[in-house]
Amino acid sequence: MMSDTYSVAQPTRAEIDALTGPALLEFGTGWCGHCRATQAPLAAAFAQHPGVPHLRVEDGPGRALGRSFRVKLWPTLIFLKDGQEVARIVRPLDSAEIARAFSLIHPTANAGVGPSGSDPSPRR
């Protein structure tokens, strides 16, 4: 569920830590050129993971949530599973980079399945 605006109202770190399942936490601002440039590749990657919650948080000086995640540049995408950071991308350049991070928190239905429908990994 990709969001289209950055929220000024921020969840607390405790609320983020208590999340269950996969989620994407995005820090940035509406006026940031890098943030705007990221939206097309992010939307392309989100198309494969439509059920993943997307929390877009407006960041800036003194914003507690961004500081708790040590955000320094925008946009910063933090991929969470059960409230824990699994991957982080700062200023992503393409949807493939974002898709790789998504696969760590929310595998798609055909991930890891070969063309015959079998798992291609070797058995021991």
Give 93's DSSP letter. Answer: -
Domain count, the chain: 1
Tell me the CATH number at 93: 3.40.30.10
Per-residue pLDDT of the chain in tens (124 residues, 90 and over written 9): 677 789 999 999 999 999 999 999 999 999 999 999 999 999 999 999 999 999 999 999 989 999 999 999 999 999 999 999 999 999 998 999 999 999 999 987 554 443 444 444 443 3
**Residue 9: how many other CB atoms lie within 10 Å:** 6
**Domain carrying residue 25:** 13-105
Whether residue 118 is contained in a domain is answered as: no
Amino acid identity at 106: H
Whether residue 87 is contained in a domain is answered as: yes
Between CA 122 and CA 67 the distance in angstroms is 43
Whether residue 119 is contained in a domain is answered as: no
**pLDDT at res. 4:** 75
pTM: 0.84
Whether residue 91 is contained in a domain is answered as: yes
Whether residue 31 is contained in a domain is answered as: yes
